[in-house]
Amino acid sequence: MLSKRDIRLVASLIFFLIAVLISKIDGKKTSQNANQNESETTQSKEYATSHKVTRVIDGDTIELENGQKVRYIGIDTPETVAPNKPDGCFGKDAANKNRELVENKYVRLEKDVNETDRYGRLLRYVYVDNIFVNDYLVRQGYAFAVSYPPDIKMQELLQNAEKEARENNRGLWGMCGIKNRESSESGK
């Protein structure tokens, strides 16, 4: 029998797949069809290709076999590698969970709008097996949902995941005495 958590995870995945299908159908109806199809083809190729993760840098950043670093879109985990800053509460737990989920595994990457961040890291949604990693980390309380427009395609889903984690005192919400993301940053 599936637990409530498993049912929610499956429901989130189904919601995501439906949203992708709807966006593809709607996208083909726009007047910018040629440009969008080219972009979708490039993105579909990237999404269809698996990339091996060779190193987990922290809870929201990984390194691929080709040396590229990938920053997860829409989430932020407490710091563990920032120079001259103490580790954030639950940061090592987030890094360890990320390691458990993706290290030495093949992941699928999905781009939103921006290719890279100011540090040159790829910005991507990350999937391993049937798990949307960004969502999983937020929903289980390892990460905060954050928005950096224009990369906001999954913003609502991730915000709902954070609300669920917070209401159920999962992860950092239960262990760190955090009421919201702002109160966590004042303690860093």
Indicate which residues carry an active-site annotation.
71, 79, 121
The three state secondary structure string of the chain is CCCHHHHHHHHHHHHHHHHHHHHHHHHCCCCCHHHHHHHHHHHHHHHHCEEEEEEEEECCEEEECCCCEEEECCEECCCCCCCCCCCCCCHHHHHHHHHHHHCCCEEEEECCCCCECCCCCEEEEEEECCEEHHHHHHHCCCCEECCECCECCCHHHHHHHHHHHHHCCCCHHHHCCCCCHHHHHHCC
